[in-house]
Amino acid sequence: MKSVIEALKDNFNKTLNIRTSPGSLDHITVVTADGKLTLNQISQISMKSPQLILVNMASFPECTAAAIKAIRESGMNLNPEVEGTLIRVPIPIVTREHREMLVKLAKQNTNKAKDSLRRVRTNAMNKLKKSKDKTSEDTIRLIEKQISQMADDTVAEIDRHLAVKTKELLG
């Protein structure tokens, strides 16, 4: 259950930010002839200004087209421009609509995290039911209550993270 929360926090920090940093493009997956690689594995990413990120593809020039496609399809509302092996990624000015879209994405990510949590809880309950012949019914009921309580606490924590992120995004 902790890993579900960590994955959600990681997702919030990487993809749902108003402030840009070179690291915000690191997680973008580029499909190459060698397989799937992250953008920071095949390029050098740097900030030219707060409104411009430069992606230098000099080490893997053959992956430039795939990198552009991956940046466009990243869901970050970016439109990269190419200059040889250099990709310029202008950062759009953050508008109210963009902030609201990020909040919607945060809610979607939160719902996915809750689904993952439900699967973890269901798997734990199923394992517990399989051990019925080895354990007393009272012990099983107690453990079921503990699992449910842990799941409820984790859902509450996920909701707190969503509230904090929503407040951060909407200002």
Boundary (domain end) residue, out of 70, 90, 110: 90
Boundary (domain end) residue, out of 62, 90, 118: 90
Residue 8: inside a domain: no
- Determine the Cα–Cα distance for residues 153 and 106; give it in Å rounded to an integer: 19
Residue 18 reports pLDDT greater than 70: no
The number of domains in the chain is: 2
Q: In the prediction, which pLDDT does 121 show?
A: 93
Boundary (domain end) residue, out of 90, 110, 129: 90
Residues 51-79, mean pLDDT to the nearest whole number: 86
Q: Which residues contact 92 (CB under 8 A, 6 or more apart)?
A: 77, 78, 98
Asked if residue 41 lies in contact with residue 25, where contact means CB atoms within 8 angstroms, the answer is no
Q: In the prediction, which pLDDT does 136 show?
A: 85
Co-location of 117 and 74 in the same domain? no
Residue 9: inside a domain: no
Residues 88-100, mean pLDDT to the nearest whole number: 82
Asked if residue 112 lies in contact with residue 120, where contact means CB atoms within 8 angstroms, the answer is no
Residue 2: inside a domain: no
- Determine the Cα–Cα distance for residues 60 and 56; give it in Å rounded to an integer: 9
Residue 110 reports pLDDT greater than 90: yes
Residue 76 reports pLDDT greater than 70: yes
> What is the residue range of 80's domain?
20-90
Q: In the prediction, which pLDDT does 122 show?
A: 93
What mean pLDDT, rounded, does the chain reach?
Answer: 86
